[in-house]
Chains A and B, each alone.
Chain A
Amino acid sequence: MKSFVNVNPKSLDEAVAVLDRARAQGKKAALAGGGSDLLGMLKDHLVQPDLVVNLKSISGLEGVHREGERVRIGALTTLDEIARHPLLVERYAALAQAAGLAASPQIRNVGTLGGNVNQRPWCHYFRQGFPCFKNGGKMCYAVAGENQFHALFGGGPAFIVHPSDTAPALVALEAEFKVMGPSGAKIIPAEKYFILPREDVLRENVLGENEILAEVILPAAPSGLRSTYLKIRDRQAWDHAIVSIGAALEWEGGRCRKARLVLGGVAPIPWRVPNAERLLEGKSLGEALARQVAEAALAGAQPLAKNGYKVPLAKATVRRAVLSLLPAA
């Protein structure tokens, strides 16, 4: 790893000031939550910052807090805490399940929510330092290469998939992200946070160089809300999703009042499927409708040469997820 200075800011404002100053001086700074993603990037020289800003030194950025009917989760809260937190397990199951299915116990002990949604892509070309779009180059090696794990939707010019398990769950639960920058805090809906490569191929989200994700806010969980996160992977630990789904359905009198279905592992951002959601709304759910929903969710998929298998896999995942959310009789 190239050498760098580790900075331990005591507050968010101080951290933002460090980023701002670094930028003004033409220095590169990298934020560190738990560092489980960042350290690999540093060791492989994919980022070579002059400063590493250790967010763990800021107190008050972790924990799950109730605020009226809403829930605020500090960006430094670990995945392990989220996976076990009784309030989240009960009311926001999709998020707790997603956190619990990420990586391995050791990574969940240090890995933070902020780091999870901001982790960089895990495309093997990118991680191995190929001069691809994501590394500042001029091509996506997956297009004609090994693209088993790449995008079905929203690809181009890069075909990465968004790697975060918590992100599809957060979009399904209509979370909001509180971002701190030099001019204070702003709130961004989770769905608007992530951006496609065609918007900016070097980034996966709207976060600016001198901004920090401070908090994730979950809205009140209406009565009748049921949610889940299903993840399909090659092995039961360490693997990112081949396909996944964050699903949140609201029920009223046996009918679905509102549906949010967000696929993971299939696109460069958490991929909402509004056509499939609309099929559910106002209906009571059975096997036949679940199949239609799954078909609608994958309509328009554009597989590459080697990832076509993801289409039936994702359909089955959608079907299973919505059926698992049937309201208690």
Chain B
Amino acid sequence: MGFETTRRDFIRNTGWGIASAAAVSGLDIHGPLLRAEPIEVPSVAPTSRIRLTVNQRPYALGVEDRWTLAEVLRDHLGLTGTKVACDRGECGACTVLLEGRAVYACSYLAVWADGKEVLTVEGLAQGEQLDPLQEAFIEHDGPQCGFCTSGQLMAARALLNQVPEPTPPQVREGLAGNLCRCSNYNRYVEAVLAAAGKEGRHGK
């Protein structure tokens, strides 16, 4: 690999992640990707075969044992809504739900998620219908640069699943594991409270 090779070329050329290749060739990644056959891993690094359910779609994958869940989601399934900023469990940008609980995907190995269910920000909306949290985030101008937003959404989703009508302190505690470098914390808290109110009324 020469210096001019981009990461995307590298991924495509080595046959990793069908997702990235599909994205490049303009294929709908939710089409052919879904029931992907196990990926043959052309590598000397130790690998494992795992099954993951991501946003209710089952995948059988070959992964290097050292890959994090965030790497697999982003680089190999093309689900780049999950962001990686610190890559050390210190910012929350990579928050996804694992078996319904908020976790840092950067700090959890993909092999450990074998057989488990993952929800990423891509799985929040039902078709065109946004999650009430997404709507509230838009209404309340939650995202500024937006880099932390998918993590904030997932942390908030986990909170509302557990505590449907949280108090403001509970919301702040629920989002305490998510940094926003644009410092739009108050708007995020407002938005979560507003979404919780709506969900309560509509009995979501």
Label chain A's interface by main secondary structure.
mixed
Given contacts A35-B107, A106-B95, contact A3 B46 (CB under 8 A): yes
Cβ contact within 8 Å between A107 and B174: no
Q: Which residues of A1-24 have CB atoms within 8 Å of chain B's CB atoms?
A: 1-6
Closest to A40 in B: B88
Chain A nearest CB from B174 CB (Å) reads 6
Q: Does A324 contact B (CB under 8 A)?
A: no
Q: Does A91 contact B (CB under 8 A)?
A: no
Chain A nearest CB from B158 CB (Å) reads 8
Our count of residue pairs bridging A and B at CB distance below 8 angstroms stands at 86
Given contacts A39-B68, A54-B112, A106-B89, contact A236 B101 (CB under 8 A): no
Inter-chain CA distance A104–B173, complex, in Å, is 9
Q: Tally chain A residues at the interface, Cβ within 8 Å.
A: 28
Closest to B67 in A: A1
Chain A nearest CB from B189 CB (Å) reads 14
Q: Does B108 contact A (CB under 8 A)?
A: yes
Interface string of B60-73 (1 = CB under 8 A from A): 00001110100000
Which residues of chain A are near B103, meaning CB under 8 Å?
A: 106, 109-110
Q: Which residues of B142-189 have CB atoms within 8 Å of chain A's CB atoms?
A: 155, 158, 173-174, 176-177
Cβ contact within 8 Å between B68 and A106: no
Q: Does A238 contact B (CB under 8 A)?
A: yes
Which residues of chain A are near B98, meaning CB under 8 Å?
A: 110
Q: Does B111 contact A (CB under 8 A)?
A: yes
Q: Which residues of B97-117 have CB atoms within 8 Å of chain A's CB atoms?
A: 98, 101-104, 106-109, 111-112
Label chain B's interface by main secondary structure.
mixed
Given contacts A4-B65, A52-B65, contact A238 B101 (CB under 8 A): no
Closest to A237 in B: B176
Q: Does B141 contact A (CB under 8 A)?
A: no
Question: Which one of B95, B106, B177 lies within 8 Å of A237 (CB-CB)?
Answer: B177
Closest to A80 in B: B101
Q: Which residues of B4-31 have CB atoms within 8 Å of chain A's CB atoms?
A: none
Cβ contact within 8 Å between B66 and A40: no
Q: Does B92 contact A (CB under 8 A)?
A: yes
Inter-chain CA distance A103–B87, complex, in Å, is 16
Q: Which residues of A205-243 have CB atoms within 8 Å of chain B's CB atoms?
A: 236-238
Q: Does A28 contact B (CB under 8 A)?
A: no
Cβ contact within 8 Å between A106 and B46: no
Q: Does A282 contact B (CB under 8 A)?
A: no
Cβ contact within 8 Å between A3 and B45: yes
Question: Which one of A1, A5, A6, A106 lies within 8 Å of B104 (CB-CB)?
Answer: A106
Interface string of B40-57 (1 = CB under 8 A from A): 000011101000000000
Inter-chain CA distance A1–B107, complex, in Å, is 12
Inter-chain CA distance A35–B98, complex, in Å, is 14
Inter-chain CA distance A4–B92, complex, in Å, is 26
Q: Does A42 contact B (CB under 8 A)?
A: yes
Which residues of chain B are near A80, meaning CB under 8 Å?
A: 101
Q: Which residues of A282-316 have CB atoms within 8 Å of chain B's CB atoms?
A: none
Given contacts A35-B108, A39-B108, contact A105 B155 (CB under 8 A): yes
Cβ contact within 8 Å between B111 and A109: no
Which residues of chain A are near B90, meaning CB under 8 Å?
A: 238
Cβ contact within 8 Å between A6 and B65: yes
List 17 extra interface pairs beyond A4-B65, A4-B66, A36-B89, CB under 8 A. A3-B65, A4-B46, A6-B109, A39-B89, A43-B87, A54-B109, A54-B112, A104-B92, A105-B158, A105-B174, A105-B176, A106-B104, A107-B107, A109-B103, A110-B98, A110-B107, A238-B90
In the complex, 12 of the A-B residue pairs with CB atoms within 8 angstroms, ordered by the A residue number, are A5-B46, A6-B65, A32-B112, A35-B109, A35-B112, A36-B89, A52-B109, A54-B111, A54-B112, A106-B95, A106-B155, A238-B90
